[in-house]
Structure 1
Amino acid sequence: MISLSHKPYIREIAGSDTAVLFIHGILGTPEHFRDFIPLVPASWSIFNILLDGHGKTAKDFSHSSMEQWKSQVSRIMHHLSEQYDHVLIVAHSMGTLFALSEAVAHREKVRGLFLMAVPLKLFLRASAPLNSLKVIFDRVSEEDAVAVAARNAYSMEPSRKVWSYAGWLPRYMELFKEIKRTRGLLPLLDVPCYVFQSENDELVSMNTIRYLQGNRKVEVSVLRRSRHFYYHPEDYAYLLEGFQSFVERNLY
């Protein structure tokens, strides 16, 4: 089993014509895609990236920005579009916004998108901030599967200094603006896009599906017993089966 430990995982295969780009969400980690990587053919290259400011401290995250993340993803996509005939993008949460943007910008190279928890409309459930506080203050019970999943998806070092999180507000304000911008890009998307939304998502409204279904290239599946980070075992098996099918559709 590959251990990522909140670090990027890059596998470049000489002579490969296909690359898979994995993009995690805000506060997230390449670990989110741990179980997807073994399903990628050995002949394909993998770029499972870590966004700037992630995997470090709360202060490091505060000093990053949406523009840095977008520029980072754009640089990588520029490299992939020059080196590979086919690029597939797999993303979660905020990472799906970048995936959609790059699919529009590089429609001649991006052959498909596999997206989870696309946040085109937000809805905050009470459990979301509660689990965040459990993670931040390292108070997660191992019996609490939802909180454990949130902790595993969080790449920053926990800090008990509450004021160290004050600098996060601008990052979230930037996220809201990026969500609005991405909605406007949806009509321009012209590549196959497979989306998996969780019915009990604490952060993303199910009304997002209405935006997605306006594009004929988008196919939406609903995970009935899952949340933003937590996947019910049966839903997770279905998700991985969906990814396997996505890979098989793109074998050239």
Structure 2
Amino acid sequence: MILPGAEPFFLPGGPKGVLLIHGFTGLPAELLLMGQYLHKLGFTVLGVRLAGHGTTVEDMSHMTWEDWMDSVRDGYAVLSGFCDSIDVIGHSMGGLFSLLLSTEEKVRKVVTLAAPIQIAEERGIEFLPPREVCNNQFIPKARRRLKGVPEAVNKTYRKMPLIGVHELVDVIEATKGCIDKVSVPVLIMHSHDDHTAAPASAGYIYDHVKSEDRRIVWLEKSGHLLPVAAEREKVFAEAAAFLQSSDA
């Protein structure tokens, strides 16, 4: 059963579509404000829910990264039935999926928000136990309560499955393995004070995609949660300007 407020959302608009992809242990609601902003500009917007998210953390522990990628593929298929072109915006792990999707399907532009090619050192990823001992193992996931955001945003999982962290690492490796096939225009947004996805991730994406049209927008006080943080209006405006600009 999907938790109240954790459902995917669809905002019908014009012929240009935007697929929004949330991150690891996140919810579509984290991108709802951004979706509403883009919808007001005439875009048709679909915020997908990744498999095992917005239900129970135990449910999530049984999902692989390919299950999450299939959720993205399904969202693309649905949106393509309504739109002539599709842009993809992904937050955190969703940013990795947006890059991956652009190597599989006809995507016009990609926006990554705090995509973690490198996980911040303070997250202690080097202490992750081997996969074979991680089944049914969970660790606490702390997050401060946010104001002025959809209610569901503050109801994300309060623990994470260790086996899921291995799947996240696998997404990172899959992205690194095909990032040189990304050729569509890419806007990379990251905050200098991100303590989850190391800021060096932005430079890695910039240096390794083959896109001629690519740039980085840096934020200063948004941490990791760019779509709901203090500078979110700048994030929305930069993304909208990028999507509305003529193709390179």
1:250 Cα deviation (Å)?
A: 6.1
Which one of the candidate residues 205, 226, 233 is aligned to 2:198? 205
Say if 2:186 and 2:214, in contact at 8 Å, map to a contact too: yes
Per-residue CA distance 1:141-199 (angstroms, 9 max, x = gap) = x6xx69x99x936523x57xxxxx5xx11111111121012012221111111111111
Deviations 1:74-130 (A, max 9, x none): 122234345532001111001111110111111xx31111210011111142699xx
Question: Residue 87 of structure 2 contacts residue 109 of structure 2 at CA under 8 Å; is this kept in 1?
Answer: yes
How many angstroms does 1:47 deviate by?
A: 1.0
Q: Does the Cα contact within 8 Å between 2:123 and 2:196 map onto a contact in 1?
A: no
Q: 1:110 aligns with which of 96, 107, 115?
A: 107
- Name the SS for the 1:187 alignment partner: helix
For residue 103 of structure 1, what is the amino acid of its counterpart?
A: S
Deviation at 1:20, TM superposition (A): 1.0
Query: Root-mean-square deviation (CA), in Å?
Result: 3.1
TM-aligned CA distance change 1:12 to 1:237, over 3 Å: closer
1:181 maps onto 2:177 in alignment: no
CA distance in 2, matches of 1:242, 1:74: 25
8 Å contact kept, 1:199–1:224: yes
* Partner residue of 2:28 out of 16, 27, 30: 30
How far residue 133 of structure 1 moved from its aligned partner, in angstroms, is: 4.6
CA-CA distance at 1:240 after TM superposition: 2.0
Asked if 1 retains the 8 angstrom alpha-carbon contact of 2:22 and 2:90, the reply is: yes
8 Å CA contact retained: 1:29, 1:153: no
Q: Residues 13-38 of structure 1: CA distance to partner in whole angstroms, max 9, x if unpaired?
A: 5xx43211100001001121122122
Partners of 1:126 and 1:67 lie apart in 2 by: 24
- Identical counterparts, % of pairs: 22
Aligned residue number for residue 121 of structure 1 = 118
Q: What is the TM-score when the length of structure 1 is the normalising length?
A: 0.76
* Alpha carbons 1:29, 1:155 under 8 Å: kept: yes
Larger mean CA deviation between 59-68 and 193-202 belongs to 59-68
Amino acid in structure 2 at the alignment position of 1:116: L
Pair 1:58 & 2:54 matched: no
Equivalence for 1:20: 18
Aligned residue for 1:205, secondary structure, equals coil
Write the mapping of 1:156-167 to structure 2, written as runs, cut at 5 A: 156=157, 158=158
Mean alpha-carbon deviation: is it higher for 224-233 or for 207-216? 224-233
Instruction: Name the structure 2 match of 1:237.
Output: 233
Give the secondary-structure state (helix, strand or coil) at the position aligned to 1:190. Answer: coil
Q: Quick one: distance in 1 between partners of 2:154 and 2:94?
A: 13
For structure 1, the 5+ residue unaligned runs are 160-164
Equivalent residue runs for 1:25-174 within 5 Å = 25-41=23-39, 43-81=42-80, 83-106=82-105, 109-125=106-122, 133-135=141-143, 152=153, 155-156=156-157, 158=158, 168-174=161-167
Q: Is the 8 A contact 1:31 1:153 kept in 2?
A: no
Give the AA of the match of 2:70: S
Unaligned segments of structure 2, at least 5 residues: 126-139
